[in-house]
């Protein structure tokens, strides 16, 4: 039988020198595996005389236990060392500020909707909503647009299909946010102060028109709300929205079936050097339609026109976004071009507020 001390020295040295768990496993197999050196020696015990077998068996068992213990200890040591190395490599200073990572951007239309909402919320307007597939009663009749009224044609309406033989007038894709006025008054009555931002649809498509676009409607009804209140509200809005100290608005007499009197509102601006500046210069830019809500509209919404009066306005959100952020083509708004979105988009965490700044 080989000298057990020599064997012991050989294996313990090998174990101490093993660099990883794979090397350790090789040593274990060489010594204690089924065909390992020590295992084979144990098998040879069977052919020995009983006394010699007892002595040699005990010695072999001791050696086996020693090697086994050394293997386990080395294995644990290697695991500890690996963990230490990982901990050292993955050390992290949790007190460092987070690194900003772009996770997409806020679309300019969403940004402007949030800005408009923040400004009017600050003036006490709540947000109202209505459906995009609208009945012709809310989209037209209740707004004093009779079936034969030319405004119905002007709106280039998309009609929803009805089942064949169904005599009811078809629903429409709402052509403006004005029907939300009716819904809000029906639901809440007067007094009321709401804005209604949302999608609208018209059959139109060029550099400044898309078949789907966005408007925001405004409505304020009380006992003595006048045109003067409308003017102040809109001036205040424009100052806040365009983030300029001075704005000048021009009210131009106009006509809408749902308001009387009606006014289109222009804002003073300059195009000097091809760049739009709001609040200075000698040009005027139309930004919205408005007026005093027609008594028939109040009545259609269940509000008594003998007791209540107020103003309404409607403006294009996409157009506001183009003006404020210098975006030349409306069609690009809805093409989902990632380069465009990265260029014109806003950081996801920057929520516009009146006190914190709208577009910083």
Binding region for ligand DAH (CB under 6 A)? 176, 178, 217, 256, 259, 289-291, 312-314
At its nearest, how many Å lie between ligand DAH and the CB of residue 104? 31
| Shortest separation between residue 178's beta carbon and ligand DAH, angstroms | 4
Q: DSSP state, 337?
A: -
Query: CB-wise, 108 or 179, nearer to ligand DAH?
Result: 179
Nearest-approach distance from CB 134 to ligand DAH, in angstroms: 13
Query: Cis (ω within 30 of 0) for the bond into 191?
Result: yes
CB of 267 to ligand DAH, least distance (A): 16
Looking at the Cβ atoms of 106 and 293, the one nearer to ligand DAH is 293
Instruction: Report, in Å, the least distance between residue 95 CB and ligand DAH.
Output: 53
Residue among 41 and 298 whose Cβ is closer to ligand DAH: 298
Residue 209 CB, nearest distance to ligand DAH (Å)? 12
DSSP string for 92-138? --TTSPPPP----EE-HHHHHHHHHHHHHHHTTPEE----SEE-HHH
Nearer to ligand DAH, 14 or 291 (CB): 291
In the chain, which ranges are continuous DSSP H helix?
Answer: 4-17, 21-32, 37-44, 50-89, 108-122, 136-139, 150-154, 179-188, 227-242, 295-300, 317-325, 338-344
- Give me the count of residues in the chain: 360
Nearer to ligand DAH, 111 or 259 (CB): 259
Rounded to a whole number of angstroms, the minimum distance from the CB of residue 290 to ligand DAH is: 5
Q: Which is nearer to ligand DAH, 255 or 331 (CB)?
A: 255
Whole-angstrom distance, CA of residue 308 vs CA of residue 311 = 11
DSSP 8-state class, residue 224: S
In terms of CB distance, is 33 or 295 closer to ligand DAH? 295
What minimum distance in Å lies between the beta carbon of 264 and ligand DAH? Answer: 8
Please give the Cα distance from 67 to 7 (Å, whole number): 10
Considering the complex, state which of residue 114 and residue 217 has its C-beta at the smaller distance from ligand DAH.
217
249-256 and 346-347: which strand pairing?
unpaired
- Residue 217 contacts residue 162 (beta carbons within 8 Å): no
Q: How do beta strands 259-270 and 249-256 pair?
A: antiparallel
Closer residue to ligand DAH (CB): 31 or 317: 317
Q: Are 183 and 319 in contact (CB under 8 A)?
A: no
Report in angstroms how near the CB of residue 217 gets to ligand DAH at its nearest.
Answer: 5
Cα separation values, 7 from 13, 46, 62, 256, Å: 10, 21, 12, 105
For 319, the 3-state DSSP assignment is helix
Taking alpha carbons only, the member of 63, 51, 76 closest to residue 10 is: 63
């Amino acid at each position: 039988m080989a000298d057990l001390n020599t064997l012991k020295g050989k294996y313990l040295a090998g174990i101490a020198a093993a660099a990883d768990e794979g090397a350790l496993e090789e040593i274990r197999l060489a010594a204690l595996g089924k065909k390992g050196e020590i295992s084979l020696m144990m098998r040879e015990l069977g052919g020995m005389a009983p006394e010699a077998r007892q002595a040699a068996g005990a010695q072999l068992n001791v050696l086996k236990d020693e090697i086994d213990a050394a293997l386990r200890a080395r294995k644990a040591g290697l695991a500890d060392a690996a963990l230490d190395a990982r901990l050292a490599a993955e050390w992290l200073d949790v007190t460092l500020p987070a690194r900003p990572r772009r996770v997409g951007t806020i679309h300019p239309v969403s940004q402007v909707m949030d800005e408009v909402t923040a400004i009017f919320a600050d003036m006490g307007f709540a947000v109202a909503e209505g459906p995009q597939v609208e009945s012709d009663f809310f989209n037209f009749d209740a707004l004093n647009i009779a079936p034969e009224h030319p405004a119905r044609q002007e709106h280039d309406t998309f009609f929803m299909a009805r089942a064949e033989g169904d005599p009811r007038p078809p629903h429409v894709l709402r052509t403006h946010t004005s029907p939300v006025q009716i819904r809000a008054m029906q639901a809440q009555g007067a007094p009321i102060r709401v804005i209604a931002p949302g999608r609208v649809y018209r059959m139109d498509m060029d550099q400044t028109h898309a078949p789907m676009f966005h408007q925001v409607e405004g409505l304020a009804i009380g006992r003595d709300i006048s045109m003067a209140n409308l003017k102040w509200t809109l001036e205040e809005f424009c100052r806040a929205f365009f983030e300029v100290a001075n704005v000048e608005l021009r009210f131009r007499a106009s006509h809408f079936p749902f308001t009387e009197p009606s006014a289109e509102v222009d804002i003073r601006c300059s195009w000097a050097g091809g760049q739009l500046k709001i609040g200075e210069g000698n040009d005027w830019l139309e930004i919205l339609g408005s007026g005093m809500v027609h008594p028939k509209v109040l009545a259609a919404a269940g509000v008594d026109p003998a007791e209540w009066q107020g103003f309404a306005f409607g403006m294009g959100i996409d157009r506001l976004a183009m003006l404020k952020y210098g975006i030349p083509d409306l069609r690009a708004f809805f093409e989902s071009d990632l380069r465009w979105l990265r260029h014109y988009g806003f950081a996801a965490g920057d929520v516009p507020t009146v006190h914190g700044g709208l577009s910083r």
